[in-house]
Structure 1
């Protein structure tokens, strides 16, 4: 009889939590209330909770059984960036709980979100600092290695900025001021880091083309910091004014002046990534967990467009948010279907994953 073996559960499995949570949040945020939208939000919130529990338990079991796994993953330049995924998974589910489940859970939803925000923010800041330090001191990286995956460790502070803004109405005094300042600081840190990395990704594509087919879906990760930054400034404009002693109107002007151009670039990148993905799919696009990049990054564009629509009342932005939400649902369907088929093909009732650099 073959011996039982440890099934690897690298951090990119938390992308399932991220991608499912953002559907619930996006459904809640849409400026147009469509029939069945609330049911969609509730269903995806429940699915995300199940995915989070499974991912946490499976990860804990794996790390307990294989004490060297964490170090091995951190030493691998293809896997280490994805330690941003657990942080964003916690943050994304916390926000979904606050927005969707508060009618059911009451103040407990606020408490759950606060705990997940603190844990996700601490982990996210650790990855935003630690993974680049490893890349700059220990990892050996090729000149053509830049990919959307490089954004994973630096995006969590942006997610903290957006989700932290949702907690501001439950704080007051110095606590609210500190939270608002921290959110804007994390917004700036993540946005500037993302700009540096996106230029490297563009340069790599121009000089070395798209690379391996399995890595193509990671191009969609670029949408994450773009859409999330628009969401962050929009939510901070809604909630940070009293804490900072700044008028809501001033913060909303900044949100619009920043958000509209960035959303424009995000749409440009969406068209580029979509075209490259379609070309690659015709030639053969193998499944990997990178398919979950079709979800959370697009979801941040949904919440960003919804925020802009709420601040402007523009019908065009309402339509954009709905169209992006339809794309999000399609992306989630593709990623979820591929994941289920892959697990069935492996004939396993537990999580497993190929150790590919393209995983997301």
Structure 2
């Protein structure tokens, strides 16, 4: 039998619970654990029916194991058919709790049977949640302790034997399997949340069309850079860039083409901006560049570099021509965030008034 055939049989076995949940969904791991527990309990209870009848001679335990096998099989059939996770989780937890209670009463402490009690909290918390899992665990363990205190005085003492080895080995293996499953689900959940938080952080500061910074982030960055420039006594310039007659382009070619032009323009602006510059979409067809440690001459040089590059570019499949009007302002001692933006906007207004496709400086307040 080839590895591929064996793998197919494993993934299509009778124990497989088909479901629509993604790995980041907590229900995915809940189903996976129930699937694993159902398989383990079927194998365990089926094997011990035979062992108790043939090797160990515990006929009462064989009957209990047979009942567990039947109950687990019924839960599996119902889960595969209806995918009712809450009902199956309650039924599975209840079956385990009832069986362990019966097992404790029948075994009377022999074969290290107490070790199986440690599985109840782990299974209950994962399948039923924190609150219901706590109730079940506390009630079951309390009842078990009371039962042991009341009846254990008449129990005989037992030595370590083959059934004891079975109990210890299988219970520890079950605990290891469940713990690994829990840790894997917890790790993947944290990884998914970290990734989603990172995506949300990016979305919060990003313009959805151009993938540049949005206006709210530009406002925050401008305040940071303005305070830094004043503290360190360095230059700071702001450029407001506007696509000339963009409304006419939208009216002539449609908003879909207009959006394509804005996306291309954004990429072109990114290629012209420097690594230290903060570039974003200011609104509509307007863009803003925050240029730290850049004086008036440097700002004009950057603006002209952008204006010339865009003027030479042909946009979209329509081979469209586009020009820019740019307003620039350099920080003065009395400037605030509002005033430096206002001066850059005044420069942009002047560039429009002077025939577009040019760069103009906002009037200094110094």
Give the TM bin, normalised by the shorter chain.
under 0.3
- Where relative contact order (Cα < 8 A, 6+ residues apart) is larger, the structure is 1
Under a length normalisation based on structure 2, what TM-score does the superposition of the two structures give? 0.27
Under a length normalisation based on structure 1, what TM-score does the superposition of the two structures give? 0.27
Structure with higher strand content: 2
